[in-house]
Amino acid sequence: MDAPDGDWRLIREEARSGPMQMALDEVAADTAAEGGPWTVRVYRWDPSCLTMGYRQDPGTVDWEWCEANGVDVTRRQTGGGGIYHDVVGDIAYSIAVPADVVPGELLECYHQLCEPILDFFSRIGIDADYVAESLPEIHHPACYLRELHPAHDVVAGPADDRRKIAGNAQYRRNDAVIQHGSLTFSVDAERHLGVFDDPPIGPDGFRDRVVGMDELVDLDRAEVVETLEETLAEWASAAEGSWTEAELSRARERADEKYRSDSWVHEQPGSR
């Protein structure tokens, strides 16, 4: 499906902390809802970061391992399990639009906003699509090891070895929709598992479920990122743009007050 017709901007890949990236997603939604430009962007997690799902129990995280290995931890607005975002191995994107310009039905909205992601994989020579049928859960706290769902889990590879390569999540406010996703460039299974407390499988089992782009095509990370940026820009007819100083200031405040706060990160919603 085509992108909604509007004033879009592309923000090229920027490396920032996890709390700041989550705050910028919210700020982009504020801007779109307030009549400013709608945003497609690519971003990088620096340092590497574990984002917990909105309702995830913090007791499922190995906090000591994360601290010892320099992995930041925050919590997403979106649901699901935790995702380890490697500074090299993960490529993230997000889309922020006014709520009234996209379908109100969740699956239809997912498929509209995922259209450029599937196109991107095709452009770099990877056969990727939504998983054809659900696959069973391996470890509930880990997003990439949960049940694979045809609505939003993207798999890639040969027909006899389709593995997860991307996960997408979306949340809707009254005035805006934010969709963000994690695209796997390379898999560091040991670190993916290390962030969780007592996962039931080892690195080989993780690799049986997850594949990186670098296993399927001979492209470096910079080439992949540039193609993703170009695909998003063409889908949205977006002009290259940037954050305003006001947006960055608002995001810094939100990152400190919310995404770095003990109450947001260390307390499960419902217990606060």
Q: For 6-32, what is the mean pLDDT?
A: 98
Predicted pLDDT of residue 268 = 86
Using pLDDT thresholds of 50, 70 and 90, give the confidence band for residue 151.
confident
Using pLDDT thresholds of 50, 70 and 90, give the confidence band for residue 155.
very high
Q: Which CATH class is domain 8-266?
A: alpha beta
Q: Where are the beta strands (DSSP E) in the chain?
A: 8-16, 38-45, 49-52, 72-75, 83-85, 90-98, 128-130, 153-156, 163-172, 176-184, 239-240
Predicted pLDDT of residue 117 = 98
Predicted pLDDT of residue 163 = 96
Using pLDDT thresholds of 50, 70 and 90, give the confidence band for residue 173.
confident
pTM: 0.96
pLDDT in tens, 204-242: 999 999 999 999 999 999 999 999 999 999 999 999 999
Q: What single DSSP character describes residue 6?
A: S
Predicted pLDDT of residue 133 = 82
Q: For 152-162, what is the mean pLDDT?
A: 92
- Supply 144's token pair: 């990439």
Per-chain mean pLDDT for the chain: 95
Residue ranges per domain, the chain?
Answer: 8-266
- Supply 8's token pair: 């879009």
Using pLDDT thresholds of 50, 70 and 90, give the confidence band for residue 121.
very high
Q: For 126-153, what is the mean pLDDT?
A: 90
Using pLDDT thresholds of 50, 70 and 90, give the confidence band for residue 132.
confident
Q: Is 64 left (phi over 0), alpha (psi -120 to 50) or beta?
A: alpha
pLDDT in tens, 86-119: 999 999 999 999 999 999 998 899 899 999 999 9
Instruction: Calculate what percentage of the chain has a pLDDT beyond 70.
Output: 99
